[in-house]
A and B are shown apart, each in its own frame.
Chain A
Amino acid sequence: MLAELGLVALTLALAGALYAIVACLYSARTGEQRLLQSGRNAALLTCPALLLATGALVVALLTEQYQLRYVYQVTDPGTPPLYRFTALWGAQRGSLLFWSLLMSGFICGAIALNWRGERRLMPVCIPVMMASLAFFLGLSLFIENPFERWWILIDAPVEEQVVSRALIPPRAVPPTEANLRAGAEGMNPLLRHFGMVIHPPMLYLGFVGFTIPFAFAVAALASGDLSNSWIRATRRWTLIAWLFLSLGLILGGRWAYDVLGWGGYWGWDPVENAAFLPWLVGTAFIHSVMIQEKRGMLKLWNMLLVIAAFSAVMFGTFATRSGVIDSVHSFARSEVGFPMLAFWAAMTLLALSLLAWRWRGGALRDERQFASLLSRESLFVLNNVIFIALFVAIFWGSFGLPIASELFLSKEVTIGAQTFEFYVVPLFIAMYMLMGVAPLAAWGGMTVARLGGMLRIPLLLTALGVAGLAVGGTDLLVAALGYGVVMFAAIVALCEIARGVAARRQTLGEGPLRALLALFGRNQRRYGGYMVHLGVTVIGIGVIGSTIFQTEAQHTLNRGETVVIQDYALRYEDFVRAQAVDGRLMNIASLVLLRHGDEVARIRPRIDDYPQLPMSIAGAHSTLENDFYVLLIRGDRQRATFRIYINPLVNLVWWGGLLLILGTAIAAYPKGRR
């Protein structure tokens, strides 16, 4: 019953999307407003229909309908309720449906909120959004149907009797409940973590969010209405998508840190990089779009960036779901590869052709030209150069080179973290320096002397800070310089906020807190942006601390034995085997962590026994200063081997992330009409 409900709802959503495309495009030709409204209503219908379809799948997961192939694949009778729910995005079929739901939610939001303001763009905007949605719905319905059920064909030969079909085949009976329950495969152990509850939805929200700016950009190109109105409509949507994408990346890092057990949070794996690429383009766009708004410049470039962001999202989706690279990430290996590649190419080519057409028509000409090398806009251009260089380097390392060398030279290569760090670190240093200088530069141009004057105080404070670090015992020159560059960016952001507060206090006589709140409230984008900058600097300090100063050692301890690492002592106390609620066996080591002779924590790293692969879950004692992170490598009651990491300042990565999200939320929060 649930399967039929889901199938009907899914079909309805697809029909709605297709109708919306036709109706809106027709209205674009004829100007028929009622048809446009009808198309809009059909587009809005996809969301409830998909809610129903997803709801049906969730209910099937929660009520253990193992006849559904998807439920059979991702859960088993031992799966706890929370993970039954998260199983919705635990494998390809479910996650495609969930992805469609999120996309349709975003689209409906965009249509509802921008219907009045951007009515003129809607006849093209809705079809573009609906085309993206229809593509994914088509995948769900025809290739990776989450509502397929197991059937036994009575008349077929024995080896062909069990089939999975969405529609009931003739002369078929369902398998017995007992057989289904016994055979259910259960969830991938790596996904049984709290981080997996929120990380994929956030990342998906970030991904699908870029559909909206793309649709507006294409609509602007197609309709020829290239005034700044499409920018107004997309700016906020880009920020929202960027917010979710950032959150998804940060949570992904956290999940990797907690579950994957290598003492780090970012490994430059192609799948991670696939999610990082749209983020880089999005960041470039968020900055350069300001130039267009303020100065009417870089129109062509901004168009290109919006198209590139969506294209990067679709490419990343293709790369991670098709198995084109790194086929072992089989979370998602399936038949969707070629359709996705075709879709990516078609959308990118369509948008670029439109862009080329308008460009040659001269519609994207800038209204002003760069007047001075030293101006806010030229520094923003430099910012874009850095982000694009990062994009190219990371794309080449993760996809370009490995694919080209395998295909043309039949040579497999691995591009590892060392290679990425080689070219990414200098670019990030440049980015932080720019982040310090750019907020001080004026639009239109300024003199070196004036900029120097503004830089004096932040530079002085930075010098003091670095000197403080040197006195405090940071003896590594590289680290001190790194901290210095990042600190400089942070100090500039703080100085700008302080200056704003001081100005308000002086002119309006407000108290400091009130002035601060008013500052953020009145100029959300500017000060939200500074807060994001602060967050990025906090992350930067965490990254420098936890990579340059990471201590790592492997020790084998007898029970009762103590090992001394820096000013910590670690004692191996006990080893127990226990069974978790879902039936897996856990080997838990218990250690006591002492500092200066006092017990500060008990750490319990463990190995979970899964039939396929044991999983090592770290135990950690976490403070703002550092994480004392312990992995159980192997062992028994008498003797065990541990891999121990001390990750200084690693928690700043998460706190900085929080600041970044908060700042973005402030910048994106809709302003009430004043």
Chain B
Amino acid sequence: MTRHERATPRIAARWGCSALLLGVIATTVILGAQLAERNRGRPASGPAPDFQLQLFTNEHIELNDLRGQVVLLNFWASWCPPCRAEAPDLQALHEDFAGSGLRVIGVNMLESSPAKAQAFVDELGIGYANGEDIEQRIARLYRVEAPPESFLVDRRGQVRQVYIGSITYDMISGNIQSLLAEAA
């Protein structure tokens, strides 16, 4: 056996095995990170993830700019009947508490066309801020599974309450009042 023949497997072994082992380790780390990300649930407490939203009125809004106010974040779609049912109550909350520092923000998701969202807003006479969540970015941040879901954020930007499914005026007005009573 020549020296060349003996040397080749050694070098190949060193490189091949190192590459394989490193590959397995890298894969494990990546999968672990992905799993951790996927297992992250809705932000039920702690700081509310920041986002920017372009409203249907073409203004921009950023959550962190709203510090000092109580924010009710509502994810909705026009084709979702429970969303339609809760919209008048949201509007009423907006009318009653906007003066004392409540901002209601509607995040429109999974809408097949912006025209339908606009029609929904017009038809129900919605006066609070609304915008479309392009590519589901905000919905993904908040781990929204299907509309409607709502998040109540206090004056310090902390998520205080998560509502899955439609909400009513009576169900949450108490919570809003107590959050409004808190100092910023």
Direct contact of A and B (CB under 8 A): yes
A334-378, CB under 8 A of B: which get 1 and which 0? Answer: 000110011011001100110110011010010000000000000
B181 within 8 Å of A by Cβ? Answer: no
The interface bits of chain B over 1-22 (1 if a CB of A lies within 8 angstroms of the residue's CB, else 0) are 0000010011001101100110
Query: Please, how many angstroms separate the alpha-carbon atoms of A345 and B20 in the complex?
Result: 12
**Sampled A-B contacts (25; CB under 8 Å):** A322-B35, A324-B31, A324-B34, A324-B35, A324-B38, A325-B34, A337-B35, A337-B39, A338-B32, A338-B35, A341-B28, A342-B28, A344-B28, A345-B27, A348-B24, A349-B21, A356-B13, A356-B20, A359-B16, A360-B13, A362-B9, A403-B30, A403-B34, A406-B37, A407-B37
CB atoms of A359 and B13 under 8 A apart: yes
Whether A327 is near chain B, meaning CB under 8 Å from some CB there, is yes
Whether A349 contacts B24 in the complex (CB less than 8 A), given A322-B35, A365-B9, comes out as yes
- Does A470 count as interface, using CB distance less than 8 angstroms? no
Judged by a CB distance under 8 angstroms, whether A323 is at the interface is yes
The verdict on A167 contacting chain B, using a C-beta distance below 8 Å, is: no
Contact status B14-A345, CB under 8 Å: no
Instruction: Tell me whether A341 and B32 are in contact (CB under 8 A).
Output: yes
B30-A323 in contact (CB<8A): no
Query: Is B98 an interface position by the 8 A CB rule?
Result: no
- Least distance between B164 CB and chain A CB atoms (Å): 16
Query: Does the CB pair B9–A356 fall under 8 Å?
Result: no
- A576 at the A/B interface (Cβ < 8 Å)? no
A345-B28, A348-B24, A359-B13 given. 13 additional CB < 8 A pairs? A323-B35, A323-B38, A324-B35, A324-B38, A337-B35, A338-B35, A341-B31, A349-B25, A353-B17, A356-B21, A359-B16, A404-B30, A407-B33
Give chain A's interface secondary structure class.
helix
With both beta carbons as reference points, the residue of chain A lying nearest to B6 in the complex is identified as A362
Instruction: Select which of B6, B9, B30 is within 8 A of A407 by beta carbon.
Output: B30
CA distance A228 to B39 in the complex (A): 45
Q: Could you tell me if B25 and A407 are in contact, using CB atoms closer than 8 angstroms? A: no
In residues 397-411 of chain A, which contact B (Cβ within 8 Å)? 403-404, 406-407
Q: Which residues of B contact A407 (CB under 8 A)?
A: 30, 33-34, 37
CB-defined contacts of B17 to chain A, threshold 8 Å: 352-353, 355-356, 359-360
Which residues of chain A are within 8 angstroms of B39 by Cβ–Cβ distance?
323, 337
Minimal beta-carbon separation of A341 from chain B (angstroms): 6
Contact of B38 among A327, A349, A352, A360 (CB under 8 A): A327
Question: What are the interface flags for B47-91 relative to A under an 8 Å C-beta threshold, 1 for contact and 0 otherwise?
Answer: 000000000000000000000000000000000000000000000
What is the CA–CA distance of A325 and B33 in the complex, to the nearest angstrom?
Answer: 12
Q: Which residues of A contact B6 (CB under 8 A)?
A: 362
The reply to whether A406 and B34 form a contact with Cβ atoms under 8 Å apart is yes
Q: State the 7 A-B residue pairs at the shortest beta-carbon distance, nearest first.
A: A356-B17, A345-B28, A359-B13, A360-B13, A324-B35, A337-B35, A403-B34
Q: Give the docked Cα–Cα distance between A349 and B39 (Å).
A: 25
Q: How far is the CA of A338 from the CA of B33 in the complex (A)?
A: 10
The CA-CA distance from A318 to B13 in the complex, in Å, is 29
Task: State A345–B22 Cα separation when bound (angstroms).
Answer: 11
Within the complex, the shortest CB–CB distance from A260 to chain B, in Å, comes to: 21
Chain A minimum-CB-distance residue to B32: A341
B-contacting residues of A (Cβ < 8 Å)?
Answer: 318, 322-325, 327, 337-338, 341-342, 344-345, 348-349, 352-353, 355-356, 359-360, 362, 365, 403-404, 406-407
Interchain CA distance A322-B31 in the complex, whole Å: 11
Q: How far is the CB of A253 from chain B (nearest CB, A)?
A: 27
| Residue total for B at the interface (Cβ-Cβ under 8 A) | 22
Residues of A contacting B13 with CB < 8 Å? 356, 359-360
CB distance from A161 to the nearest CB of B (A): 22
CB of A352 within 8 A of CB of B24, answer: yes
- Chain A hits for B37, CB < 8 A: 406-407
Given A352-B17, A352-B20, A345 contacting B35 (CB threshold 8 A): no
Q: Which residues of A contact B33 (CB under 8 A)?
A: 407
Chain A residues, CB < 8 A from B35: 322-324, 337-338, 341
- In the bound complex, how far is the Cα of B26 from the Cα of A349, in angstroms? 12
Looking at the assembled complex, report how far the CB atom of B138 sits from the nearest CB atom of chain A, in whole angstroms. Answer: 13
Q: Which residues of B contact A337 (CB under 8 A)?
A: 35, 39
Taken together as a complex, chains A and B put the C-alpha atoms of A153 and B79 apart, in Å, by: 43
Report the nearest B residue to A406, measured CB to CB. B34
Smallest CB–CB gap between A332 and chain B, Å? 13
Interface centre among B6, B9, B35 (most CB of A within 10 A): B35
* Minimal Cβ-Cβ distance residue in B for A334: B39
CB distance from A363 to the nearest CB of B (A): 10
Q: A338-B32, A359-B9, A407-B33 are in contact. Are A353 and B38 (CB under 8 A)?
A: no
Q: With contacts A337-B39, A352-B20 known, is A360 near B14, CB below 8 A?
A: yes
Residue of A nearest to B145 (CB): A328
User: What is the bound-complex CA distance between A342 and B6, given in angstroms?
Assistant: 36
Q: Closest approach, in angstroms, between the C-beta of A526 and any C-beta of chain B?
A: 32
* Chain A residues positioned under 8 Å from B30 (CB to CB): 403-404, 407
Quick one: closest B residue to A323, CB to CB?
Answer: B38
Q: CB-CB contacts of B95-139 with A at 8 A, as 1s and 0s? A: 000000000000000000000000000000000000000000000
Shortest CB distance A588–B (Å): 27
Residues of B within 8 A of A345 (CB): 24-25, 27-28
Given known A323-B38, A352-B20, contact A360–B25 (CB-CB < 8 A): no
Least distance between B173 CB and chain A CB atoms (Å): 23
**Smallest Cβ distance from B139 to chain A, in angstroms?**
11
| Chain A contacts for B21, CB-based, 8 A | 349, 352-353, 356
Residues of B within 8 A of A356 (CB): 13, 17, 20-21
How long is the Cα–Cα vector from A348 to B30 in the complex, in angstroms? 16
Q: How far apart are the CA atoms of A324 and B24 in the complex, in Å? A: 17
A344 to B32, CA, bound (A): 12
Residues in B neighbouring A352, C-beta threshold 8 A: 17, 20-21, 24
Distance in angstroms between the alpha carbons of A359 and B12 in the assembled complex: 9
Q: Are B24 and A360 in contact (CB under 8 A)?
A: no
CB distance from A360 to the nearest CB of B (A): 5
Q: How far is the CA of A318 from the CA of B38 in the complex (A)?
A: 14
Which residues of chain A are within 8 angstroms of B34 by Cβ–Cβ distance? Answer: 324-325, 403, 406-407
Bound complex: CA of A130 vs CA of B28, how far in Å? 23
List of A residues within 8 angstroms of B24 by Cβ: 345, 348-349, 352
- Cβ distance A422 to chain B, nearest Cβ, rounded Å: 24
Name which residue of chain B comes closest to A344, CB basis.
B28
Docked complex Cα distance between A338 and B36 (Å): 9
Q: What's the minimum C-beta distance from B85 to chain A, rounded to whole angstroms?
A: 19
Q: Bound complex: CA of A532 vs CA of B33, how far in Å? A: 41
Contacts of A323 in B (CB 8 A): 35, 38-39
Closest residue of B by beta carbon distance from A362: B9
Q: With both chains docked as a complex, state the minimum distance between the C-beta of A213 and any C-beta of chain B, in angstroms.
A: 19
Q: How far does the alpha carbon of A338 sit from the alpha carbon of B37 in the complex, in Å?
A: 12
Which B residues lie within 8 Å of A325 (CB)?
34
